Chains A and B, each alone.
Chain A
Amino acid sequence: MVTNDTIGPRGRRSNRRFRERGGVSVYPATFEYFAPTSVDEALDTLERFGDEAKVLAGGQSLIPLMKLRIAAPSALVDIGRIDGLDALEERDGRLEIGALVTHADCEKSDLLRGRYGVLGATAPLVSDPIVRNRGTVCGSVAHADPQGDWGSALLALGAEVVAQGPDGERAIPLEDFCSGPFMTALEPAEIVTSIRTADPGPRAGGTYLKLERKVGDFATVGVAVHVSLDNGTIGRAGIALTGVGPTNVKATAAEDALAGAAPDDDAIAEAARLAAEAAQPLDDVRGSAEYKRNVVRVYTERGLRTAIAAAQS
């Protein structure tokens, strides 16, 4: 085994060379780093820097962008030391996901089964296990990648983004939060403190189906499905699509067609057809638009069957 002793001296020499060159390896642009211990303190810093500052939580989306210098904020506000942002709990029949809750926290949580099944099915499909240990749900939503998995899962279930700013707290419906690829309704001096889901309904189930080329890849296609039952018929259905539009796409026509319908084969097939129609796929390295649209149809059908069975059980 290579030990600390054998590599130590060589490592140190190379380190000296780096220092003589003016520093060690760095890719991101220089930034000032702040690690506040309260949301108020974080907001003060954000106000001071305006849109020059970025909030850092898990960093699994932001740091890769900074390494490529696609993002070069002059200040980073690391919210990782703020107490009370790591709660994952059910309150008044709605799930609250704190800003520091990781994908791995969700993967392990028993809360995300049953009525919250669409979230429970999504967690283990986000990126890879090591990234899931560090990346956060709220960070992923705030990043607003159209290929993000959480955006679809939360759109299907129904959710609002809770943000704190200098003027206090506001809740932004997720439908209004993502205004375009990587663009959100968040003000520069606002922090996402949690995501709050809708009440899934007493008899509800859901799932997420993701086609990916390999673990850790973005979705070629993802379909999130949530269904609540009301006296044997479908009360509310939520269907949202990943990777087939400039943002996560809510398949509204498919949802409307299901509301009040009997959960039978005809209703499922019609909803799947409407979901495929709602997709706006592009030809790319992951597949042709035609192929992706058909995967949306097939996954919506499969997802609805799983979600309905879960809600009936």
Chain B
Amino acid sequence: MAVQEAVVTTPLTVTVNGQERAEEVETRLLLVHFLRETLGLTGTHVGCDTTSCGACTVLVDGTPMKSCTMFAVQAEGRELTTVEGLEGAGGPPPIQEAFSAEHGLQCGFCTPGMMLTSIALLEQSPSPTDEEIRWAISGNVCRCTGYQNIVKAVHHAAAAMKEGS
């Protein structure tokens, strides 16, 4: 841009994957760029960048939200979970195992968002029907799988999580 814009910053404290992070951020910084660029957590993807595809989905206090359509400052005091936060001490989480076992991905670009949306669904509905799963992931676009194997993967994860609990 020809005109140099003023930089307006504000302090921000959020909990990301269980860890408190305090940074000085530009007010206009989008949450997805805060996660990817300020914190280096590049598991959260920028897909369409127009609130359509869900690749940037993260959990805000446990609820899926599109981090490309939220300012970082709006997350002040909230608990965020990104795909990096799904990994427990015991290795890959059941949802990741399930996507792998059922071939619920090909290129993998939508997978972080798909997994986070699926986790939030399984929290509310531990044994979802096909229809519930398709409804829940209808804001997450996948251009590879045709969704069949994603639906299978969510069922697979549901069964594994019930067994594990």
Chain A: residues with Cβ within 8 Å of the partner, total of 44
B30: A residues at CB distance < 8 A: 25-27, 63, 67
Complex Cα–Cα for A10 and B140 (A): 27
Complex Cα–Cα for A249 and B29 (A): 37
Complex Cα–Cα for A167 and B65 (A): 36
Q: Would A33 and B54 be within 8 Å (CB), given that A26-B29, A130-B139 are in contact? A: no
Complex Cα–Cα for A260 and B139 (A): 43
User: In the complex, which range does the number of interface residues on chain B fall in?
Assistant: 35 or more
Complex Cα–Cα for A59 and B30 (A): 12
Complex Cα–Cα for A76 and B72 (A): 13
Binds B, one of A11-19, A109-117, A194-202: A11-19
- A18's partner among B10, B37, B92 (CB-CB below 8 A) is B37
Complex Cα–Cα for A76 and B28 (A): 10
Name which residue of chain A comes closest to B25, CB basis. A24
Identify which of residues 42-65 in chain B touch chain A, using a CB-to-CB cut-off of 8 Å: 42-43, 49-52, 54, 57, 63-65
- B74's partner among A31, A64, A78, A129 (CB-CB below 8 A) is A78
Complex Cα–Cα for A10 and B26 (A): 22
A59: B residues at CB distance < 8 A: 69-71, 74
In the assembled complex, the CB of A184 is this many whole angstroms from the nearest CB of chain B, namely: 22
Interface string of B63-90 (1 = CB under 8 A from A): 1111001110110100000001001000
In the assembled complex, the CB of A212 is this many whole angstroms from the nearest CB of chain B, namely: 11
Check A80 for interface membership: any CB of B closer than 8 A: yes
Complex Cα–Cα for A30 and B10 (A): 12
B84: A residues at CB distance < 8 A: 2-4
Q: Which of B33, B57, B135 has the most CB of A within 10 A?
A: B33
Check A186 for interface membership: any CB of B closer than 8 A: no
Identify which of residues 82-98 in chain A touch chain B, using a CB-to-CB cut-off of 8 Å: none
Identify which of residues 39-90 in chain A touch chain B, using a CB-to-CB cut-off of 8 Å: 56, 59-60, 63-64, 66-67, 76, 78, 80
Q: Would A10 and B40 be within 8 Å (CB), given that A26-B33, A129-B139 are in contact? A: yes
- B66's partner among A18, A23, A130 (CB-CB below 8 A) is A130
- A4's partner among B8, B41, B136 (CB-CB below 8 A) is B41
* Cβ B42 vs Cβ A11 within 8 A: yes
User: Across the A-B interface, how many residue pairs have beta carbons closer than 8 Å?
Assistant: 131
B64: A residues at CB distance < 8 A: 129-130, 133
Q: Would A7 and B41 be within 8 Å (CB), given that A60-B51, A130-B139, A130-B140 are in contact? A: yes
Q: Which residues of A contact B (CB under 8 A)?
A: 1-4, 7-12, 14-15, 18, 23-33, 35, 56, 59-60, 63-64, 66-67, 76, 78, 80, 127-131, 133-134, 215-216
Known: A59-B71, A129-B64, A215-B139. 15 other contacts (CB 8 A): A1-B92, A4-B17, A4-B84, A15-B38, A24-B37, A26-B33, A27-B30, A29-B5, A32-B8, A33-B73, A64-B51, A78-B74, A127-B139, A130-B139, A134-B69
What are 25 residue pairs bridging A and B, where the CB atoms are less than 8 Å apart in the complex? A1-B92, A4-B40, A9-B40, A10-B42, A14-B40, A15-B38, A15-B40, A18-B37, A24-B29, A24-B33, A24-B37, A25-B33, A29-B28, A30-B6, A35-B76, A56-B71, A60-B69, A64-B50, A80-B74, A130-B64, A130-B65, A131-B51, A133-B64, A134-B65, A215-B138
